[in-house]
Structure 1
Amino acid sequence: MVKIFTLPNKEEWISYVGNAAEYDFYHTWHYHSLETAGTPVLFIYEQAETYIGFPLLRRKIPVSDYSDLTCVYGFSGPFSNKKFGEIDEVMMENFKTAFNNFLINEKYVSVFVRLHPFYKQQKLLEKFGGIHENGKTVVLDLSVTIDEQRKKYRQSTMDAIKHAWRKGFTIVDETNAAGMKTFVEIYTDNMKRVGATSYYMFNENYFSEILNTSEYEARILTVYYNDVSIASTIVTFTNGIIQAHLVGTRAEYLHHSPTKFLADYITQIGREKGMKYYNLGGGLGFKNDKLFEWKSAFSDLHLDFKTWRYIVNPEVYRKLLQDKGIEENTEVDFFPLYRYA
C-alpha cells in the first residue's frame, strides 16, 4: 500500500517517523516544515507489518511540465520500522516498483538525496542505481571513556583544549531568546567571513524554529571568555546521535580555537544524555580539505558519506541539459546537472 503525506498530515508524519527503527531529526515533520527549497512530501510504502518511508522535497522545474525531488539540508534518506539489513528482498523489490511508479506518474525527472552515514540505506537504494561516493564524515564514539577519547586527539587539539581550561573559558547552555541572538550574530558573521553561499545564510526565524519542537532535542551552547561570547553552536540529540548542526566563531578569537574546547565538552553532555555518537560531519562539499583535517584531529572513526543521484526520465533529463547548453558528460560534480548555474 502506498500513502503520500504532505505538511498538513502532521500527525501521520510524526507517527511514521517516531515508530521507525532508525531516524534522525532530519527526517522529522518539524524539520521539513522549515524548508523553503521545495514542498515536503513523505512517501510511505507499507506491506503487512513493515513500512518504508521516504521524506523528500518537491521542486518544479522552470519552463517545463516536470518536477524533481531533493532532500532537506543535512542527512536524511529513507527510514523504516525495521533496520535496512533486516528488510527482506521481496519487500525492497516491491518498494522499488511502487516508488518508481510514483516518480513516473508524478512526472519527476530526477531525485537527489544525501544519505545518512549511520544507516544502511544504500542496501535499499542500490537496487535503483545511482549511489555516489562523496567522501567521509568524522564521528566521535561516545561508548569509550572521555580519557580514551582524548587519547585519539592530535596534540594540537588537546593543547587547544588545555589552553581553554587555563584561560577559564566557560560554556553556557543558552537555549533562549538572548542566546539565539548571540548565535545568529556569531554564525552570520562567520559565514560572511568564509564566503559561504546563500544556501547557508539562514534567517533568525529559521534558527528559532529549529529549537521549538518536541520531536527532537536541540540546544544552543556558547563559549564565553571574560564574559564575552566567542563561539556558539546548535547541536541536536536524537536516537543516540548528536549532530553538529551549525557553528560559528568570532574572528578575533579564532586563534584560541574555542570550537575544539566546545566539541570536547559536547561529548561529555552526550554521555550524560546516553548518546552513542557525536557526528562532526565532513569537509566543505565533503572533500578532504582543511575543515575535514580539523575534524579528523578528534577521531579516526570516519564513516562513508553517500548521495543518491537517480535519473527517473533519461530522455527528459537530456533534453533539459540540451536546453541549457550543458554537456552530459561534464566533470562538474553537481546533480541534477540541469540546475547547475
Structure 2
Amino acid sequence: MKAVLCERLGGPGTLVLRDLEMPEPGSGEVLVRVAAAALNFFDTLIIEGKYQFRPELPFSPGAEFAGQVMSVGEGVELFEPGDRVMGYVRWGAVREAVIATEDDLVLLPDGVSEEVAAGLTVTYGTALHGFRDRARLEGGESVAVLGASGGVGLAAVEVARAMGARVIACASSAEKLELARAHGADELVNYTEEDLKTRLKALTDGCGVDVVYDPVGGAYAEAALRATGWRGRYLVVGFAAGEIPRLPLNLVMLKGCDVLGVFWGDAIIREPENHRDNMAQLLAWVAEGRIVPHVHAVYPIDETARALGELSERRAQGKVVIRP
C-alpha cells in the first residue's frame, strides 16, 4: 500500500511517498481502507516535532479519516468487513489503509460522503465538546468565534448555530467573513479593521458575549475575554497564531466568568461513550442538512505536501482532504 511518511522532522517538503506491506489487524483492532483522510493545522506542527504528541519516526500525518472496514482482529464486536466508518487515530491516516481500535471508529450512515466524514471528527467534534460539554451552551445565547473561516472556526460557527446560538464570526478579511456568513454566522467582525472588544460589546447591547470560542490565541485573546459578559465562558481551544496569551485573572474575577480548556483529544479517551454520543449528534445534523462541512480542496496522496502547505500558509478555508 502507498503511505506518506515523515522519516525526518521538517516542513511539508520533507515528506516522502513509500510502498509498505498491508498490515494485519491484531486483537481488538480493525483494518480500514482509507477513502479520504483530512489534514489539520496540527499536522504541520507534528511533522516538525513542535506538537504535544511526538510519534516515533517514521509515521504518517493525518489524524482523521473515513473508509471501509477490510478485516477485523479477534475480539472485535462493533464492526465487520464492509462497514463504512469514520475515525480518529492522532496520526497515521494518510495512507491507503490504517489500523484502528474499536474506540477509534464510528459507523458512517448512508448519505454522508467519505470526504465530508473524513473532516468531521476533529474540528466538529472539538466544537461540540467545547459548546456542549464545557460551556453548556444554551439556545439563544451569543457566541463569538475567532478565526471563523478556517476549518476549526467554520465548524464552531455551524455547531453553535445548530445548537440555537446567535453566532458572531470574527476573522481578518471580508472574504473570510462572507464564508462564515454562508455557514450560518449571524454577525461579522473584521478584527483587522474594528476593535474586537468594542464591536462585540456593541453587538450584544453592551452586555458582552456569553461564550468565546478561541482556537487562535495571540493578540486578540485578551480583547475577546474583555468582551465576555457576566458569567461568560471563554473556551481555550488552540493557538493557531503561534503565541500562547497571558490573560489577566482580575478580569475573570470581576466578570464572574469561566476560562475553560477544551482538550478534545484527551476527552475522547477519558469519556469514550460521550464521544460516541457527540459523533452521533454530528452525523444526524449532517444528514438533516443542519451542518454542511466546507471542503477547501481534495488532493491526491502524492500532493500531500502541497495540501499541508495550504494549512501552514493559512490559505485553507474549511477542510483539506487527501484521497489515497
TM-score (norm 2): 0.29
Higher helix residue share: 1
TM-score (norm 1): 0.28
